[in-house]
Amino acid sequence: MSEPAMETVDSFGMTAERQFADVWSRPALSMRERRLILLGLLVGQGLHEQTDVQLDAALRTGELTETELREVVVFLTHYAGWARGSQLNDQVEKLIERVRKARSDREGPSG
């Protein structure tokens, strides 16, 4: 007789997810404001992979436009340093290119 499969429960992951959801849903700051704060923190710490995730989320949800993302680059470059600003600029431009390409692919050849 075989034992039923045991489902692994990631209680830490579930707890962390709930806590992050709670932090992101508090009423005092908008999602956009939270995203901007988080981007500044991530860029300042040089956490490029996490920055990519947040940039993508900001653009795809409409929290930040292409123009606003480029302005974030200008602003943060002066505070996080030129090397991190250059990295951020590359990330933003590659993201904009990917999103534009994905949109044009969805629209197809007829537009």
Domain positions in the chain: 30-107
Two structure tokens written together for 30: 């908008």
To the question of pTM greater than 0.75 for the whole model, the response is yes
Two structure tokens written together for 33: 């404001």
pLDDT tens for 42-94 read 999 999 999 999 999 999 999 999 999 999 999 999 999 999 999 999 999 99
> How far is Cα 47 from Cα 39, in angstroms, rounded to an integer?
10
pLDDT tens for 15-56 read 777 878 888 899 999 999 999 999 999 999 999 999 999 999
